Amino acid sequence: MIIGTNLGIPLSTTHCKVGATVAVGMCESGGMKNTGKGVNWRLMAKVGSMWVLTLVFASVIASSMFAVLTAAFHPMTMPLNCGLISNKLAAAHFTTLANSASDMEDLFAELDSNSDDLLTTEELAARCPPLDMLSNGEDLTVEVYGRRRRAAEDMDLDDFLAYTCMSSDKLDHMENKKCEPLCQTGYAPDGALKCKLDSENEANDGGFVLRTQYEGFTTCVQRAHACETR
């Protein structure tokens, strides 16, 4: 223990005492074949299992206390919402502002050709312009809009509404949600709409402020798909 302390090695006096007691018992038993006479291995098994369970119990208690104290003393860990999505879309050009959640539900039913309440990549691609690709050129099924889907190859109604910015009036900065509004024919969104914390966090008087802002999507840009020019 003295040597280990000088070397900075973390040692437990309890472990050392138990190990020394077992070692003495093994020496007094008269050989390796008779260690059962000098050491109560059943009791030693309980001691060893308690050493392992101590780590489990300590981690559970520590994480629980951390969660309670974090919630009590750090209320700003709650999600912060950005402004109304409708206001953001109203400031953009060539968006389908007339569309509502019910309109998107009708579009979902129209695209769901096999009526299984799921949209596959092929069904999303059947629309003109197709909806199977994101504005950045990636496959839509690679990204997750709204809640996590059961499979990466399909999209249910909740996912579709989240994807088209129709599932909620606002986005928040913690759940990393994003959406892409539908644009008018011949136009496409210039990016995905995301809610982020504003990097400018200093007020005019030098104080600290915490605020959110929308990033990514700003407007619909002219980008006609080949199917629209036929």
pLDDT in tens, 2-14: 787 788 777 778 8
Rounded distance between C-alpha atoms, residue 32 and residue 167, angstroms: 71
- The pLDDT-based confidence of 148 (bands split at 50, 70, 90) is very low
In terms of Cβ atoms closer than 10 Å to its own Cβ (0-12, 13-18, 19+), residue 171 is buried
Rounded distance between C-alpha atoms, residue 89 and residue 11, angstroms: 62
pLDDT at 57 exceeding the cut of 90: yes
- The pLDDT-based confidence of 23 (bands split at 50, 70, 90) is confident
- Specify whether the CB–CB gap between 188 and 93 falls below 8 A: no
Token digits for 23?
Answer: 């070692």
| AA identity, residue 57 | F
When the pLDDT of each residue in the chain is averaged and rounded to a whole number, the result is 79
Nearest CA-CA partner of 197 in 78, 85, 89: 78
**Residues 48-65: what's their mean pLDDT?**
92
pLDDT at 198 exceeding the cut of 60: yes
Residue 187, helix vs strand vs coil: strand
Per-residue pLDDT at 147:
39
